[in-house]
Structure 1
Amino acid sequence: MNQLSAPAQYIDTVADYFDSLTPQATDDELFAAGYLRGHFDLAVGSLEVAAEPFDKTQLCNWVGQSLAKAIAGGELNADDQRHVQQLWQQVQML
């Protein structure tokens, strides 16, 4: 797999994963998925605009930093943080 197809495949896998949650997820899980998907999509867009090759590790690092900044800024209460962090752990293993 070349450097460009690997992140594209991971991005597609993550999008499919988020989509698969919709039918059976709880309200809390749907919130976490939507919130995390926003951070993930922003990271993808930012890395693509930079027009430099990137990989899954860079993408995950960007999302992790974005989430940490949002949490430090008080965007999520403790329960929402827990749901988002649990989902983020799952997404990173895809």
Structure 2
Amino acid sequence: MTQHTKPGQYIDAVADYFDHLTPQATDDQLFAAGYLRGHFDLAVGSLEVAAEPFDKAQLCQWVDDSLAKAIASGELNYEDQLHVQQLWQQLQLIAA
């Protein structure tokens, strides 16, 4: 049975990651982080507005879907896609 709780610790950990990335990040990493943060924050906001309980897996799926739509619509060139996807994979490994 999946527990549906607000993934507050995960959201906070991802926000902290973004906030502390700047000092050592390359331009590509900063672009990927800014782009991904927009998708992540939109997912969090959308799920919270729905006023339904959600968990980390649902949040990650929402971001996956959002990124897939953006890539399919041509928002990112191939190199940028790689940077964003690599960062997203790292962020999904953060424990909640």
The TM-score with structure 2 as length reference comes to 0.92
- For 2:65, give the aligned amino acid: Q
* Aligned counterpart in structure 1 of residue 5 of structure 2, from 3, 6, 14: 3
Kindly state the Cα deviation for residue 3 of structure 1 after the two structures are TM-superposed.
2.1
Tell me what 1:70 maps to: 70
Q: Are residue 33 (structure 1) and residue 30 (structure 2) matched?
A: no
- For 2:5, give the aligned amino acid: Q
CA deviation digits over 1:9-61, x for unaligned, max 9? Answer: 10000000111111100000000000000000000000000000000000000
C-alpha separation between the residues in 2 aligned to 1:25 and 1:87? Answer: 12
Which structure 2 segments of 5+ residues have no match?
Answer: none
C-alpha separation between the residues in 2 aligned to 1:38 and 1:50? Answer: 18
Give the 4+ runs in structure 1 shifted more than 4 A: none
C-alpha separation between the residues in 2 aligned to 1:63 and 1:8? Answer: 16
- For 1:75, give the aligned amino acid: E
Instruction: Map residues 33-52 of structure 1 onto 2, 5 A cutoff.
Output: 33-52=33-52
The alignment partner of 2:23 has SS state of coil
C-alpha separation between the residues in 1 aligned to 2:9 and 2:50? Answer: 19
Kindly state the Cα deviation for residue 83 of structure 1 after the two structures are TM-superposed.
0.2
Aligned positions, number: 91
CA deviation digits over 1:54-93, x for unaligned, max 9? Answer: 0000000000000000000000001100000000000000
Which structure 1 segments of 5+ residues have no match?
Answer: none
Aligned residues: percent identity?
80
Tell me what 2:55 maps to: 55
